Structure 1
Amino acid sequence: MERATVVVGYEDAELLDIACVTSTFSTARDVGADPAYAVTLLTPGARTITCRPGLRLEANGALEHHTATVDTLVVVGGLGSERAAADPVLLAHVRRLARDARRVASVCTGASVLAAAGLLDGRHATTHWRFAGDLARAHPAVHVDPDPIFVRDGRVATSAGVTSALDLALSFVDEDHGPVIARRVARALVTYLQRPGTQAQMSLHVAAPAPTDDVVRRVVDHVAEHLDADLGAAALADRAGVSERHLTRLFRAHLGRTPAEHVRRTRTEAAAALVATTDVPLARVASRCGFRSTETMRTAFLDAYGRTPSEHRRAFVTTS
């Protein structure tokens, strides 16, 4: 059964907010996500909306007429968000759909709509840094943080400006289908798999810079999609059909590191994304990402980020 995903739009919504969400979920279907996402754009009265820079976007249905169960509800932002947040009918239907949804989220100034609907009271939230102060002043019951790419607080998530919707949607794909599918989606979109954090924090690139050498490229792709497999130098060289020494020379020439260093880095970054964006127990994170134990993963985190997995999770994830 498909995961019903509803995106709420309105006049003067930001087109990129909508596209980042809808394209991420539709791409997940293309790369093997099962169950797939069924994405529906709803607007008040099923009206066609004008999005910046003047493009017209046709809705799939009327917000007020949608009665089917919603898995994920996403309210987008845009120049019209202030009017949307002041529309009592729109707010009532957002509250109605959010009541039974598994997840509720906003993009950019869509947070003001969730806040006006009372869905952010007592929660941590973010929005575009330019509008964070306005959100905090208008809704003092909301704990607004202008720094993170996105914030997860229980079943409610809020993201920063426009393209951060990609990061948020990718985290949902990872949560639903695991890191392999999430990486495939990110590669298809030619983007980064981001974890929540301030602009000064680390980000996870889902693939090494595309090496020109076919052997290195094949091995890099294999590593990214089989983190819990045997990725020792002998196994990788055997898969590539070259000697360990030659594979090491190729990796140093094209990536500036050995195969073992690349495997450790890829596993650590994948684990960091899981730790920061999910509540998966650390032992399971270690196993999924190919670490022999949580202690081995802990050492890798200390070397890479200067903090333990538990400290990393506390820094990036809030729960209600």
Structure 2
Amino acid sequence: MSAAPHRVGILVFDGMKLLDMAGPAEVFTEANLSGANYRMSIVSTDGGDVRSSIGMRVPVDASAADAGRFDTILVAGGEVFPAHPVPESLAGAALHLADRASRIASICTGAFVLAAAGLLDGKRATTHWKHTRELALRYPATQVEPDAIFVRDQSTYSSAGVTAGIDLALALLEEDEGDGLTRTVARSLVVHMQRAGGQSQFSATLQGPAPRTALLRGVVDIVNADPAAEYTVTRLAAIAQVSPRHLTRLFHDELGTSPGRYVELIRFDKAKALLDTGMSVTDVAQYSGFGTSESLRRAFITHLAIPPSKYRGRFSPMSGTIKPAA
């Protein structure tokens, strides 16, 4: 456990999302109950209190210039900056704090503040999926990863929307204090220990536009309802009462993928959900439609670069193994 205090500064501003500040702060506060030693300060550009996006006043401890040095800086997000330029004063405050910190991290659209300060130049980063395109257009020197929960590039971190800030805080806690204390904090807060940084911000069933035609919607609904069934292109075409070539063309035109790839993504989503419950890898392979543990392992390596056993190990199930009803 840490002996010396680990100073965490949270940079806030008018219109910031309250949960972007409160979620990570609760992680570090909870860690203190188990022996960690985090000291948190709320910082603004001029030391004045701010109002969150819900109108709640947030007391501030110090200005960026007077706050001193921190081990970790977190920059909150809010809807104001994807829609408007980041003020020079706020970007300057972020840069000033970063120059005196060991690591700096943005929560959600706080990435716009880091980018405006030049702190993401030449680095990989992410933000809320709704704003990744705007971030990439506005700051072309940043390599935006639109489908990540959080991204680390050297000592700079960025996270996706709202609750992803909790995932990032847990990852930072694990770096500082190790796996055991982080699991204790996750259990206490009743959250997953941490979602892998490369995990998708949303499931395959929610990505991209919905099928335009009723014919393809019917096929997709069948696959979503029972991912473990056997689906060849021929069988799916028979369900749709079209030729395999025509069905493949529909998938490419409307969903930007092939029928086989779509089925794999749905099964992959199902597998992740089952692993989250604590189910064994062998059972997950069966119930998700991959059939064998090796097929499931290959899918996880392809999509997340980690095997399913390691993915499962990142979570702390609250109960024993769960199997779906027959």
TM-score, normalization by structure 2: 0.62
The reply to whether residue 55 of structure 1 matches residue 47 of structure 2 is no
The aligned residue for residue 101 of structure 2 is 101
Q: Which amino acid aligns with 1:18?
A: M
Aligned equivalent of 2:145: 145
Residue 305 (1) aligns with residue 297 (2): yes
Matched, 1:25 2:4: no
Match of 2:72 in 1: 72
The separation in 1 between residues aligned to 2:152 and 2:143, in whole angstroms, is 12
The residue that corresponds to 2:164 in the other structure is: 164
> Larger deviation: 76-85 or 111-120?
76-85
Structure 1's 16 and 138: CA in aligned 2 closer, same or farther, altered over 3 A? same
Quick one: distance in 2 between partners of 1:55 and 1:61? Answer: 18
Gap change, CA 1:121 and 1:256, over 3 Å in 2: closer
Counterpart in the other structure of 1:13: 16
Deviations 1:109-159 (A, max 9, x none): 100000000000111110001111111110011111211111111111110
Q: Distance in 2 between matches of 1:54 and 1:308?
A: 44
The answer (yes or no) to whether the contact 2:86–2:112 under 8 Å persists in 1 is no
1:194-273 equivalences under 5 Å are: 194-196=195-197, 197-198=199-200, 199-200=202-203
**Over residues 251-277 of structure 1, what are the superposed CA-to-partner deviations in whole Å (9 max), with x where a residue is unaligned?**
xxxx877xxx89xx9xxxxxxxxxxxx
1:85/1:91 contact within 8 Å kept: no
- Partner residue, 1:178: 178
**Alpha-carbon distance, 1:102 to partner:** 1.4
Give 1:78 shift: 0.6
Give 2:189's aligned residue.
Answer: 189
**Pairing of 1:115-154 with structure 2 (within 5 A):** 115-154=115-154
The residue number in structure 1 matching 2:6 is 3
Residues in 1 aligned to 2:26 and 2:87: alpha-carbon distance in whole angstroms: 28
CA pair 256-192 structure 1, distance change in 2 beyond 3 A:
closer
Q: CA deviation at 1:182?
A: 0.7
Deviation at 1:179, TM superposition (A): 0.9
Cα gap change, 1:139 to 1:208, in 2 (>3 Å): closer
Which structure 1 residue ranges, 5 or more long, are not aligned? Answer: 210-254, 266-300
Compared CA separation, residues 83 and 133, structure 1 to 2 (3 A): closer
What is the alpha-carbon distance in structure 2 between the residues aligned to residue 98 and residue 40 of structure 1?
A: 15
Aligned partner letter, 1:176: D
| Cα distance in structure 1, aligned partners of 2:74 and 2:84 | 14
Query: What SS does structure 2 have at the residue aligned with 1:172?
Result: helix
C-alpha distance 305-94 of structure 1, shift in aligned 2 (>3 A): same
Partner letter of residue 119 of structure 1? Answer: L
In structure 2, the CA distance between the partners of 1:304 and 1:112, relative to structure 1 (3 Å rule), is same
Using the alignment, how far apart are the partners of 2:60 and 2:83 within structure 1?
18
Decide whether aligned partners of structure 1 residues 41 and 302 sit closer, same or farther in structure 2, where only a CA change above 3 A counts. farther
Contiguous gaps of at least 5 residues in structure 2: 204-267, 285-292, 312-326
- Matched residues, number: 227
Q: Distance in 1 between matches of 2:17 and 2:301?
A: 38
Alignment partner, residue 252 of structure 2: none
* Corresponding letter in the other structure for 1:46: G
Measured after TM superposition, the shift of residue 90 of structure 1 is: 2.1
CA distance in 1, matches of 2:167, 2:111: 16
Deviation, 1:22, is: 0.7
Give yes or no for contact 1:77–1:109 (8 Å, CA) kept in 2.
Answer: yes
Query: What is the match of residue 278 of structure 1?
Result: none
Task: Check conservation: 2:71, 2:101, Cα contact below 8 A.
Answer: yes
Compute the RMSD of aligned alpha carbons: 3.2
SS of equivalent to 2:157: strand
What is the rounded CA distance, in whole Å, between the counterparts of 2:170 and 2:104 in structure 1? 15
Normalised by the size of structure 1, how large is the TM-score?
0.63
1:217-240 Cα offsets, whole Å, 9 max, x none, are xxxxxxxxxxxxxxxxxxxxxxxx
Q: Residue 155 of structure 1 aligns to which amino acid in structure 2?
A: S
